[in-house]
Structure 1
Amino acid sequence: MSFSLADGVSIAQTGSGAVLLDERSGRYWQLNSSGARVLEKLLAGESVGEAGAAAASGTRVAPEKAAGDAAALLERLQAAGLVSR
């Protein structure tokens, strides 16, 4: 399943993650480094499980927890209209 940023949404990498700008509303959304990595992987066409595993790589987070966290982030980004299929 492939995801993309919604029209009018831009992303900028920061030293601690990334910031999404919804140009339609003027709202900013800040992602920590794990969230930014999940979003990067999803935008590159990886699955939610793969994106979660990539974000958890090198940490003590269990793969199942990482996949659940990635799914929750994706759900919030979709609900906010920032990411679409």
Structure 2
Amino acid sequence: MTLRLAEHVSMTTTEDGAVLLDERTGRYWQLNATGSVVLHTLLEGGDQEAAVRLLLAGADADSATVGVDVAEVVEHLCSTGLAVRR
């Protein structure tokens, strides 16, 4: 499963992650570096497992924990209407 940003959402990459703007509400959402890696990976056609692999490459964590974290980021982005599953 990959993602796309909702049509009313714009994204700007920052030094430490990304900022999403919901243009309907004017609300900003800030992603830390980890959330940004997850979102960029899925927007570029990768799946959740690819995001987990990328995050594990630079971290001292186990794959189960990172997998849960990635799933939570995806669920939050979709449940808030910022992203849509493809």
Structure 2's unaligned 5+ residue stretches are none
Correspondence for 1:66: 66
Report sequence identity in percent: 42
Deviation string for 1:14-43 (max 9, x for gaps)?
Answer: 111100011011010000001100100011
Number of equivalenced pairs: 85
Structure 1's unaligned 5+ residue stretches are none
Could you state the TM-score of these two structures normalised by the residue count of structure 2?
Answer: 0.92
Contact 1:56 1:62 in 2 (8 A): yes
Code of the residue aligned with 1:12 in structure 2: it is: T
Contact 1:38 1:70 in 2 (8 A): yes
CA distance in 1, matches of 2:32, 2:57: 15
Q: Which has the higher contact order (CA 8 A, sep 6+)?
A: 2
Superposition misfits of 4+ residues, deviation over 4 angstroms: none
CA distance in 1, matches of 2:63, 2:53: 6
